[in-house]
Amino acid sequence: MSENDFGRGRVTGYLPPQQQSYPYYTQQPGTVLAPPPPPKKRGRAAALVSATAVAAALVGGAGGAAIVGLHGNSSAAASSTAAAQTVSGTTNTDVSAVAAKVLPSVVQVNVTTRQGEAIGSGVILSSDGKILTNAHVIDGAEGSVTITLSDGTKYQAKVLGANSTADIAVLQAQGASGLTAATLGDSSQLKVGEEVVAIGSPGGLQNTVTSGIVSALNRKLSDIGTGEEQSSPYDHTSNQTSNAPSYTAIQTDAAINQGNSGGALVDMQGEVIGINSALYSPSGTSAGSVGIGFAIPINDAKTIVSQIENS
């Protein structure tokens, strides 16, 4: 597989939040304050980046470590305070109830590669430890993969198979039993504007919950990033997208950051309707959520999982 989170966009060090300078105004009698000048417009250049955080040891004689696209201003806090109503309007369900149901079914995935450690997420498919994640999360894995349950329990896992075009992989936790399998929904029934919840490990912050809506359906990844520069999140050797996964995605404004890859996008009944996979980030900014995230429809994921299991 050629897909890897390393080099998805630019590799940068950890950046502290930028200090913003605000003008100080002194009110004088009879003085009308002029409004501050409008901010300069940024260029339209943009890049699609994967949603997996990677902590990689620097090589070539340079010591230290780097984090890919993890910005101090990224929003990764759980959103569980606002009450939400299902689309039918007949059942009231808040985000905290959805989170309580789904969190035990979402795991953190740690993968060791030659570049360092990749961090992603996964969804439990069976009580004996079958895990669904993105193919790019485990791309380049050397040795075993470690999965961590929401309660901190760790298992070693092996890769049962992967489809890089669909960006789907299946893992098997070794010696696992009694795990809480996720309830898989029907992504064909999704409607634009429907509320959804994203769960994963952005930047290694396990059990992070964010909420939003379905912003659009049937988004082709090739339509994303039409500015002067487009950087592929899947090929760490070039900006070409010929090796990129090819699937039609669910677009959501639920905050998805690097490390959410392979995690669950669920509806307000707590059913998984998508596998978080990518995010859109304007060029010139660090890779963080700007309210445009993408998930693989769960119906497509089911088909690929079945093919992997039967191959």
Would you say 276 and 164 are in contact if contact means Cβ atoms under 8 Å apart?
Answer: no
Contact at 8 Å (CB) between 183 and 148?
no
Q: What distance in Å separates the CA atoms of residue 215 and residue 169, rounded to the nearest whole number?
A: 26
Catalytic option among 5, 139, 167, 267: 167
Q: Write down the catalytic residue from 71, 74, 79, 136.
A: 136
Query: Known catalytic residue: 167?
Result: yes
Residue linked to tokens 């470690």? 146
- Identify the H or E element spanning 148: strand 145-148
Given the residues 50, 74, 187, 261, the one annotated as active site: 261
Among the residues of 85-187, which ranges form H helices? 95-102, 135-138
Q: Are 147 and 109 in contact (CB under 8 A)?
A: yes
Q: Which two tokens stand for residue 17?
A: 């939040």
Phi-psi label, residue 175: left if phi above 0, alpha if psi -120 to 50, beta otherwise = left
Amino acid identity of 53? A
Inter-residue long-range contacts of 22-25, CB under 8 Å, 24+ positions, other chains counted: none
42 alpha carbon, distance to own chain's centre: 24
Q: Partners of 93 in the beta sheet?
A: 84
Q: Distances from the Cα of 241 to the Cαs of 232, 301, 302, in angstroms?
A: 6, 21, 25
Tokens of 162: 């992967």
**261 labelled catalytic:** yes
128 is catalytic: no
- What value does the CA radius of gyration of the chain take, rounded to a whole number of Å? 20
Query: Could you give the residue numbers annotated as active site?
Result: 136, 167, 261
